[in-house]
Amino acid sequence: MPCNTITTNSVNLENVKNLDLLEKALKEQFVNVYRAGDRFVFSHGRTQVVVERGRATSALGSAELGAVVGLVKQAYARKAVELAARRFGWATVKGADVNHFQLRKG
């Protein structure tokens, strides 16, 4: 492959419907998050990842991009649980790590 070639990989992010919630999740998980409409750009290491129309694209290798998408999905799920808990009058209490928490009525 010529040295001036950039290979990009894409991964689908299905079920991401609430873009405001996605923005909050990305800002909690990653640095340098920018939003322009339905397009998000954030840094992962020295590489940028673009999320647009339910698809993540980056120059990262496919395995590494898959891991980043996993982090995005986890962060989005955490925010969705927090939103649903608040809607029904529950509070989230952080647990041992970011993916463990308890819901308490109150």
pTM: 0.82
pLDDT mean for each 10 residues of the chain (106 residues): 59 79 93 94 92 88 90 89 88 81 79
Q: Determine the pLDDT at residue 3.
A: 59
Angle made by CA atoms 17, 22, 23, in degrees to the nearest 5: 135
Q: What was the pLDDT predicted at 68?
A: 92
The set of residues, in sequence order, having a beta carbon less than 8 Å from that of 58 and lying 6+ positions away, is: 8, 9, 44, 47, 48, 49, 50, 65, 68
Distances (CA, A) of 66 to 61, 78, 86, 102: 8, 18, 30, 28
Q: What is the CATH number of domain 9-105?
A: 3.30.310
Q: Do 44 and 23 form a contact (C-beta atoms < 8 A)?
A: no
